[in-house]
Every structure is written in C-alpha cells, then in structure tokens.
Amino acid sequence: AVPNTELAEAAGLAIENGIAVDERLCTSDPDIYAAGDCCSFPLPHYGGRRVRLEAWRNAQDQGALAAANLMGAGETMVSVPWIWSDQYEFTLQIAGLADGAETTVRRDMEEGAFILFHLDGEGRLIAASGIGRGNAVARDIRLAEMLIAAGAKPEPLALASPETRLKKLLAA
C-alpha cells in the first residue's frame, strides 16, 4: 500500500514513507498531528527506527494518542506493533518486528499450533509470531507483546518449552 500524502505534501509537511511524525505524532508543523496508515513514526522498542504500520489497532491507538496530544497531554507512542489475520480456520498473530532477529525459537502447542519467538543478538525478545486454530496462540502472543515492551531477555530454552508460563517470565 502506498500512503496518500498529497495533501500533506501540499501543506509543506515532511514526508518519509508517509507523513513523518515524531513520538507524539506531531508532524513537521507543530499544529498538525497525523495518525494511522498514512504516517511513519519512530518506534522506541526498536531504537527509534521509523516505520509505517497498516493495522487497525495501530490506527486506533494512534488516533487516541493524537487526540490526547492535541489536548496537551504530551504523551509518546510506546505500543508494540501487533497484527492478526484469519486464514480460514487458522488465526495468525504477530507482536513486534522480527527483522533484525538473530535467533528464532519455536514453541509447539496443542493441536498443531506454534509460536516463533525472535530474539536479537543481545538475547532481547523483539517479536513473536504464532498460528493456530481460533485463539490457540492469542494469550501467549499478548504475553510476548508485554515481554517485548519490557525489553525482556528470556532464556531461549524457557521460551521453547510449553511448560514455561510466559506470565512467570514477565514477572521475573
């Protein structure tokens, strides 16, 4: 998808793979904010790397944040990217961004479901992707999302073991 940035360009706003915004979703004009699929923004969990996410939850989160900041909140974007897709009877869920991963650990679950945990070179969990029937991976992907947000460095063997409760890793 290509973001429609013609109006922003005509207004003189900075464009970088979409309307460029800062961590508060403010454009290069301090009186204009942008949110959703049309804007690229820095992700704090990935060293400030600028991305543009085309997912409903991102648009929802950013819309609320932009509105709050227009009212003077001064809050920053801190959510971890998350998407899902139904593929017939299977649901695919992804938290984080896996590019840059140096290690991938697989956790097999019941009824053929599995999750792949992606760690960077320092052992930090940067993404998790899972597939299964219905909501088979939903809880663990949500917990992985929280581990990513916390900058966790879980042991790969613990991630691979279905007996390890991710909630316990989060508490550690």
pLDDT digits 0-9 by tens, 137-153: 999 999 999 999 999 99
82-171 fold: Enolase-like; domain 1 (3.30.390)
Where are the domain boundaries for CATH 3.50.50.60 in the chain? 6-70
**Residues of the chain above pLDDT 70, percent:** 100
Alpha carbon dihedral 81, 36, 32, 2, in 10-degree steps, equals 110
Q: At 123, list the tokens.
A: 């052992």
Model pTM score: 0.91
Q: Which CATH architecture has domain 6-70?
A: 3-Layer(bba) Sandwich (3.50)
Where are the domain boundaries for CATH 3.30.390.30 in the chain? 82-171
pLDDT band at residue 36 using 50, 70 and 90 as cut-offs: very high
For the chain, give the DSSP string.
-----HHHHHTT--BSSSEE--TT-B-SSTT-B--STTEEEEEGGGTTEEE----HHHHHHHHHHHHHHHTT------PPPEEEEEETTEEEEEEE--TT-SEEEEEE-GGG-EEEEEE-TTS-EEEEEEEEETTTTHHHHHHHHHHHHTT----HHHHH-TTS-HHHHHH-
pLDDT band at residue 39 using 50, 70 and 90 as cut-offs: very high
pLDDT digits 0-9 by tens, 71-126: 999 999 988 999 999 999 999 999 999 999 999 999 999 999 999 999 999 999 99
Q: What is the predicted pLDDT for the residue at 85?
A: 94
Predicted confidence (pLDDT) at residue 6 exceeds the cutoff of 90: yes
Predicted confidence (pLDDT) at residue 172 exceeds the cutoff of 90: no
Spatial contact of 41 and 55, defined as CB atoms under 8 Å apart: no
Give the pairing type, strands 82-87 and 49-51.
Answer: unpaired
Cα-trace Rg, the chain? 18
pLDDT digits 0-9 by tens, 151-170: 999 999 999 999 999 999 99
Burial of residue 31, with CB atoms counted within 10 A of its CB: 0-12 exposed, 13-18 middle, 19 or more buried:
exposed
Q: What is the predicted pLDDT for the residue at 1?
A: 81
